[in-house]
Amino acid sequence: MVNLVVQYPPLDRAFAALSDPTRRAVLERLGRGPATISELAAPTGMSLTGLKKHVRILEDAGLVTTEKHGRTRHCYLGPRGLEDVSDWVEAYRRTWDDRFDRLEQVIERKRGTSNDQ
């Protein structure tokens, strides 16, 4: 099933990803804020493995991003937005992403200074 989807150009892939009610529910949940795989699985009554497959399809379609923190995987909306509001929402996100990269450098430097004391 996954292989079939992958042959489609990205936009079709997004539509294919959206054709499933579980995946739409996942997106709706992530629209209210990031969540872990188990938080996403809980309301669906689905196994973690089953839910991971759906998240993977959403990720391939660019609708969901995931990030591993130790043993848990956190899921976020994006980079592609649902209604292709994404172009400017994504640009705004990148602006903050870049800001926070630099803030991180400032923090690292401050940490270095306080350790030296």
Partner 1 sequence: MTNEVHERHKTSITTPSDTEVRIERNFDAPRQLVWEAYTDPELLPEWLGPRELTMSVDRFDFRPGGSYRFTHRDSEGNEFVFFGEIREVEEPKVIVRTFAWEGMPGKQSVERAEFEELDGERTRLVVTSSFDSKEDRDGMLQSGMERGVVDSYSRLDELFERQQAG
Which parts of this chain interact with partner 1 (CB under 8 A)? 30-34, 65, 67, 69, 76-78, 85, 87-108, 110-111, 114
Min CB(11)–partner 1 separation in Å? 20
* Identity of the residue, 84 or 104, whose beta carbon is nearer to partner 1 in the bound complex: 104
* Identity of the residue, 6 or 96, whose beta carbon is nearer to partner 1 in the bound complex: 96
Please state, in angstroms and rounded to a whole number, the distance separating the CA atoms of residues 42 and 53: 15
Residue 41 half-sphere exposure, CB side, CA atoms within 13 Å? Answer: 16
* Identity of the residue, 9 or 33, whose beta carbon is nearer to partner 1 in the bound complex: 33
Angle subtended at Cα 68 by Cα 43 and Cα 80, rounded to the nearest 5 degrees = 75
Two tokens at 18? 């959206």
